[in-house]
Amino acid sequence: MSHEYDKTQEALSRLTDAQFRVTQEGGTEPAFRNEYWNNHEPGIYVDVVSGQPLFSSTDKYDSGTGWPSFTKPISTDAVRSVTDRSHGMIRTEVRSAGADSHLGHLFDDGPAHAGGERYCMNSAALRFIPVSELEKQGYGEYLSLFGTAGVRTEEDTP
């Protein structure tokens, strides 16, 4: 299935001030005071601007930093990296491939057994879709990540 994950004026107009500041202006939200840093529910995280699938809860871990952290993106072409020289340091910025939303930064201090990378993301750049909603919201192809492909929900049962 082919998807276009572009940034549109309509999508931008639906963003909250915090979402706009993070995704469009490269902002950062406060550690431990954001929606998903402590979310342990199974599901996927998509770009709040375009809906592009970015990360899976199967790759999420508690980094102790106060931001949602992942060992890898949901697919290699979901995100792109850019050198960020702001704030007097050199970091690797992570942006969504489709809408070019600022998501957060990539660090090399992640779990060694999972490749050693930490994708430290801003909750404000993400929208979480629980496993129970994947099919309904058009992301059914990701059910297999959770071993639930073909599982019927209550709504599907006659």
From the candidates 46, 48, 54, 120, which is the catalytic residue? 120
What phi and psi, each to the nearest 5 degrees, are found at residue 9?
Answer: -60, -35
Residue 104's DSSP bridge partners are: 94, 121
> What's the sign of the alpha-carbon dihedral 144, 142, 115, 40?
negative
Smallest CA-to-CA distance from 121 within 78, 74, 65 is with: 65
- 103 phi and psi angles, rounded to 5 deg: -110, -40
Q: Which amino acid is at 35?
A: E
In the annotation, is 120 catalytic? yes
Residues marked active site are found at 120
